[in-house]
C-alpha cells in the first residue's frame, strides 16, 4: 500500500516538474521544442538544428520542394493559398511531411501525412494575394514526437510593433548563402507598413491589408523561393505552456526578388484571419488563443499604429540569439515564394 502511495506521489511530482519546464504529460501543448537542448545555433550560418522548429511542414510535388506549411494542432495544417492553386488536385498530387529536417524528407523522424480536406479563405485573391491562407485537415490525427509539435496561435486582438524580431524558416532558395537541403532559419524585424507600402509602390505592387512586412532595409536577410506557406514565429510568454512558447505571427506569402534592398518579405498575418480559422475549425477554439501573461508583450503579427497594446522590441521577447551577424535564409521572387 505504501509503495503504491509513493508511486502515485512520484508520478504527480513528475507531472508538475514537466509543466514547469513547459511540457504537459499526456496533454496537448503548443509552441514548445522538446528536441531543443540549447538555444538555436546559427553562428556563421542559417542551418537550423534538427527539432528546433517541430511545427514546420514540408510540401513536395514529384519529390521536389514546393512550399512549406505549419502544424497548428494534431489534425490541422495552415499554408499559403497560392501554394494550392487547385486544392483538390493538391491532395492527390502533393505529399505532406512532418518532422523533416532534410528537404527530401528522408529523415527517420519524418512522417508523411494524408490530407482529408482543404479550406481556403473565401476572400483569397490570386492576383493581390490578399487572404493568402488555407487550412488543411489531416485524414488522421498525428502523434506528437520530439520532432513533431504544434505551434501556438496568437492572442486575438493584439499586435506587434515595428522592429520586433521574428524567425522565419524554410527550405527555400538561399542564393548561395548556404545549403538548402536542410531546414534554414533567419531572424527578421517587422517593418513599418507605411514605409513598406511606399517601397513596393515603386514596383506597382500593393500590400494587402491582410499582410505585413518583415526584413531589413538594406536587404541581405530574407525568405525566398520555396519558403511560401512556412511559419514566421515569435517566442513569448504563454499560459498554455506555463512558460515561453513560439507563437505563429505570419506565413510566408510574397516579395520582390529575394533579400533585395527596400524589398522586405511580405507575410500573411495569422491574427487577421483567426476569426475565419476558428469558424472553419471550431475545435481549434478550445485550445487557443494564446493568453499572454503580460498584455504589453503579446503580438498578433501585424503592426497597427493606432493600437496601444503593441509589442515593442524587447530582448525578453525575442528568440534567443548569439549571432553577431545573420545570414539570409531563402524566401521567393515576385516571388510568390514557391
Active site residues: 82, 132, 228
Alpha-carbon Rg for the chain, nearest whole angstrom, is 19
Residues in Cβ contact with 219 at an 8 Å cutoff, skipping those fewer than 6 apart:
259, 260, 261, 262, 263
Instruction: Please give the Cα distance from 166 to 48 (Å, whole number).
Output: 15
Answer yes or no: are the C-beta atoms of 295 and 188 closer than 8 Å.
no
Q: What is the DSSP string of 183-236?
A: -EEEEEEEEPHHHHHHHHHTTT-PPPTTEEEES-TT-S-B-BTT-TT-EEEEEE
Pairing mode, strands 94-98 and 243-255: unpaired
State phi, psi for 142 to the nearest 5 degrees.
Answer: -90, 150
Taking the CB of residue 237, how many other CB atoms lie within 10 A of it?
20
* Of the candidates 254, 229, 234, 258, the residue with the CA atom closest to the CA atom of residue 244: 234
Residue 58 contacts residue 136 (beta carbons within 8 Å): no
Distance CA 45, CA 186 (A): 9
Amino acid at each position: 500500500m505504501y509503495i503504491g502511495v509513493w508511486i502515485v506521489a512520484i508520478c504527480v511530482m513528475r507531472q508538475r516538474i514537466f509543466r514547469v519546464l513547459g511540457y504537459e504529460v499526456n496533454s496537448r501543448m503548443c509552441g514548445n521544442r522538446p528536441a531543443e537542448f540549447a538555444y538555436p545555433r546559427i553562428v556563421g550560418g542559417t542551418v537550423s538544428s534538427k527539432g528546433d522548429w517541430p511545427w514546420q511542414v514540408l510540401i513536395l510535388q514529384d519529390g521536389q520542394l514546393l512550399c512549406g506549411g505549419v502544424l497548428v494542432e494534431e489534425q490541422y495544417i495552415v499554408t499559403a493559398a497560392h501554394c494550392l492553386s487547385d486544392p483538390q488536385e493538391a491532395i492527390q498530387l502533393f505529399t505532406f511531411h512532418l518532422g523533416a529536417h532534410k528537404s527530401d524528407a528522408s529523415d527517420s523522424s519524418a512522417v508523411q501525412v494524408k490530407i482529408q480536406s482543404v479550406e481556403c479563405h473565401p476572400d483569397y485573391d490570386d492576383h493581390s494575394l490578399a487572404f493568402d491562407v488555407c487550412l488543411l485537415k489531416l485524414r488522421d490525427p498525428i502523434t506528437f514526437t520530439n520532432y513533431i509539435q504544434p505551434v501556438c496561435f496568437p492572442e486575438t486582438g493584439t499586435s506587434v510593433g515595428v522592429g520586433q524580431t521574428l524567425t522565419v524558416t524554410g527550405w527555400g532558395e538561399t542564393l548561395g548563402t548556404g545549403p538548402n537541403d536542410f531546414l534554414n532559419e533567419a531572424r527578421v524585424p517587422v517593418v513599418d507598413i507605411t514605409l513598406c507600402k511606399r517601397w513596393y509602390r515603386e514596383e506597382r505592387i500593393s500590400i494587402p491589408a491582410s499582410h505585413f512586412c518583415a526584413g531589413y532595409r538594406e536587404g541581405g536577410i530574407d525568405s525566398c523561393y520555396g519558403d511560401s506557406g512556412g511559419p514566421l514565429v515569435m517566442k513569448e510568454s504563454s499560459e498554455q505552456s506555463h512558460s515561453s512558447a513560439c507563437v505563429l505571427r505570419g506565413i510566408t506569402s510574397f516579395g520582390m526578388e529575394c533579400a533585395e534592398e527596400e524589398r522586405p518579405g511580405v507575410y500573411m498575418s495569422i491574427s487577421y484571419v483567426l476569426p475565419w480559422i476558428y469558424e472553419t475549425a471550431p475545435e481549434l477554439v478550445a485550445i487557443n488563443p494564446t493568453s499572454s501573461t503580460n498584455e504589453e508583450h503579446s503580438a498578433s503579427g501585424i503592426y497597427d499604429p493606432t493600437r496601444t497594446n503593441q509589442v515593442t522590441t524587447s530582448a525578453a521577447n525575442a528568440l534567443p540569439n548569439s549571432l553577431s551577424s545573420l545570414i539570409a535564409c531563402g524566401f521567393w521572387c515576385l516571388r510568390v515564394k514557391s
